[in-house]
Chains A and B, each alone.
Chain A
Amino acid sequence: MEPSTLSPPSTMVAARRAAGGVGDAIFSAAVRLSGWSLLALLGGLIGVLAWGGAQAWGAFGPGFAWSTAWNPVSEHFGALAPVFGSVMTTVLALLIAVPLAFGIAFWLVEMAPGSVAGPIGMAVQLLAAVPSIIFGMWGFFVIVPVMARVVQPWANRHLGHVPVLGVLFHGAPYGTGLLTGGLVLAVMVTPFVCAVMRDVFTAMPAQIRESAYGLGATRWEVMRSVILPWSRPALVGGVMLGMGRALGETMAVTFVIGNTNRIGWSLFAPGNTIASLIALEFPESAAGSLKLSSLLALGFILMVISFVTLACSRVLLRRGA
Chain B
Amino acid sequence: MSGELAGVPAAPSGAGWGRGGRLAARRRLADRLATGLSLGATGIVLLALGSILLTLLARGLPGLSAGTLVRVMTPPGGGGGLANAIAGSLVQTGLAAAIGTPVGLLTGIYLSEYATDGRVVAVVRFVSDMMLSAPSILVGLFVYLALVAPVGHFSGLSGAVALAMLFVPVVVRTTEDMLRLVPLTMREAAYALGAPKWRVVLQVCLRAARAGVLTGILLAVARVSGETAPLLFTSLGNMNWSLSLDAPMASLPVAIYQYAGSAYDDWVQLAWTGALLITAGVLVLNVVVRMWHRRLGAGQ
Q: Which residues of A contact B (CB under 8 A)?
A: 1-3, 6, 13, 16-17, 19-21, 23-24, 26-28, 30-39, 41-42, 44-45, 48-49, 52, 99-104, 106-114, 120, 122-127, 129-138, 140-142, 187, 190-191, 194, 209-210, 213-221, 223, 241, 244-245, 247-251, 255, 275, 278-279, 282-283, 287, 296, 299, 302-303, 306-307, 310-311, 314
Given contacts A17-B196, A42-B127, A129-B286, 17 further A-B contacts (CB under 8 A): A1-B187, A27-B198, A30-B106, A34-B106, A38-B168, A39-B127, A45-B138, A48-B146, A109-B2, A111-B38, A127-B49, A129-B222, A132-B228, A134-B52, A220-B34, A278-B141, A296-B145
User: What are 27 A-B contacts with C-beta separation under 8 Å?
Assistant: A3-B194, A6-B194, A23-B196, A23-B198, A31-B109, A33-B106, A42-B131, A45-B134, A99-B41, A100-B44, A103-B42, A107-B38, A107-B39, A111-B6, A111-B35, A112-B3, A113-B3, A124-B49, A131-B226, A133-B253, A138-B55, A220-B35, A247-B135, A248-B133, A251-B228, A283-B233, A299-B141
Residues of the B chain whose Cβ atoms lie less than 8 Å from the Cβ of A249: 135
Given contacts A1-B188, A48-B142, A49-B142, contact A102 B41 (CB under 8 A): yes
Question: In the bound complex, what is the Cα–Cα distance between A80 and B75 (angstroms)?
Answer: 38
Interface of A is mostly: helix
Evaluate contact between B34 and A137: CB separation under 8 angstroms.
no
Stretch from B24-32, B66-74, B76-84, B239-247 that touches the partner: B24-32
Return the chain B residue nearest A99 by Cβ. Answer: B41
| Contact residue among A123, A136, A279 (Cβ-Cβ distance under 8 Å from B46) | A123
Per the bound structure, the CA–CA distance linking A21 and B194 in Å amounts to 12
| B90-98, B207-215, B277-285 - interface stretch | B277-285
A191 to B286 alpha-carbon distance, docked (Å):
15
Q: Is the interface of B mostly helix, strand, loop or mixed?
A: helix
Chain A residue nearest to B35 in the complex (CB) = A111
Q: With contacts A31-B109, A134-B226 known, is A216 near B14, CB below 8 A?
A: yes
Q: Tell me the chain B residues, 111-168 only, with Cβ under 8 Å from chain A.
A: 111, 113-115, 123-124, 126-131, 133-139, 141-142, 144-146, 149, 165, 168
**Residue among B48, B261, B287 with the highest chain A CB neighbour number at 10 A:** B48
Q: Is the CB of A137 within 8 A of B271?
A: yes
| Other-chain contact of A219, B34, B49, B187 (Cβ < 8 Å) | B34
Which residues of the partner chain A approach B168 to less than 8 Å between Cβ atoms? 38
Q: What residues of chain A lie closer than 8 Å to B290, measured between beta carbons?
A: 122, 125
Count of A-B contacts with CB under 8 A? Answer: 302
In the bound complex, residues from chain B placing their C-beta under 8 Å from that of A247 are 135
Q: Which of chain B's residues have a CB closer than 8 A to the CB of A109?
A: 2
